[in-house]
Amino acid sequence: MPKINLKKMISSADKACSLMKVLSNRDRMMILCEISQSEYCVSELESKLEILQPTLSQQLSVLRNEKLVKTRRQGKQIYYSVASAEALAVIEVLYEQFCKKSKK
């Protein structure tokens, strides 16, 4: 592991903790995982993730407020994609640590 610059970590700790707090919700983490692969509208996310629309909308609102996702309107549909390089990097690490590891 590279040496950690404690002064930089102290100045960034609040931002890091805020991101981890958002990702600590299973639905929000799964939404970010899904849209890290492609852009999706709410109905597609609802179907893929099996999260009911009211809950999905609430969690997407949290992700928007935290500036972790961005939106694009096409007709009546709003499409979501990842807006945060930091969130994407954390999702990739979580995937590597918990999903890709071979079971012994």
Whole-angstrom distance, CA of residue 100 vs CA of residue 102: 6
Separation of CA 50 from chain center? 17
DSSP state of 102: P
Whole-angstrom distance, CA of residue 78 vs CA of residue 100: 31
Longest dimension (CA), the chain: 49
Share of residues in the chain with pLDDT > 70 (%): 96
Walk me through the domains of the chain, giving residue ranges and CATH numbers.
Answer: 27-96 (1.10.10.10)
Span 22-30, average pLDDT: 97
pLDDT at residue 86 above 90? yes
For residues 68-77, b (16+ Cβ closer than 10 Å) or e, as one string? bbeeeeeeee
Kindly indicate the confidence band of residue 4, based on its pLDDT and cuts at 50, 70 and 90.
confident
Which has the minimum average pLDDT: 4-13, 44-53, 54-63, 79-88? 4-13
